[in-house]
A and B are shown apart, each in its own frame.
Chain A
């Protein structure tokens, strides 16, 4: 296994479902991120964990709930989503959060469709 792996690659869910996105990094990094990418819009930072502590929470609705059990794993728990939440959700990791050399390594993303 190399880099950052995300599962599932695709997810279709109804508005009443509960699902979770999973991310695992094999790079020995200390920070992990969730980004949202909607069509024709810039990547939006949702959450950052550094050394397993949440350090960023960008006014994300509570229907998105992150979990970081250790420095290699990151989850995004989803419940009662809205159709406008349909987007590509990207996990990333970096060696050090908040430095001038903060280089991100992304997973392949989960394409989420909310019906």
Chain B
């Protein structure tokens, strides 16, 4: 089983749609969770950290489910500019190295 697993997609959605991605992780000792965004041929950029209580930043909501060992990212009212690959990142254990998922590709169409 991969340490961090994501559906590679692509997810093709119309503008204005709500879309959600999940990411599963294998190590129950993991403590840090993040979503990064990577545009085509660009570097990854931190989108948001994921906290136990869940967190929201504008149209983006991140949730953590420790029992089932997954994190999710919800994007509401999708914009064309949201088209990118979304990378799930989890640390291997407390203070351990960061493990990247292979990313989920999102394409928002007019």
Contacts and interface: CB of A to CB of B under 8 A. Distances in A.
B95 A100 contact: yes
B97 A101 contact: no
Contacts of A100: 31-32, 91, 94-95
A80 interface: no
Contacts of A103: 34, 46, 49
B102 A104 contact: no
B49 A101 contact: yes
Interface size class of A (residues with CB under 8 A): 20 to 34
Given A40-B102, A42-B103, A56-B97, A102 B32 contact: yes
B42 interface: yes
Interface stretch (A11-19, A61-69, A71-79, A106-114): A106-114
Contacts of B46: 103-105
Nearest to A4: B43
Q: Is the interface of A mostly helix, strand, loop or mixed?
A: loop
Contacts of A101: 32, 49
B32 A45 contact: no
A7 to B, nearest CB: 14
A35 B83 CA distance: 23
A27 interface: no
A38 to B, nearest CB: 10
Which A-B residue pairs are the 10 nearest by beta carbons?
A: A106-B43, A43-B100, A98-B95, A42-B100, A42-B102, A100-B32, A100-B31, A108-B43, A106-B44, A103-B46
Interface of A: 40-43, 45, 48, 56, 90, 98-109
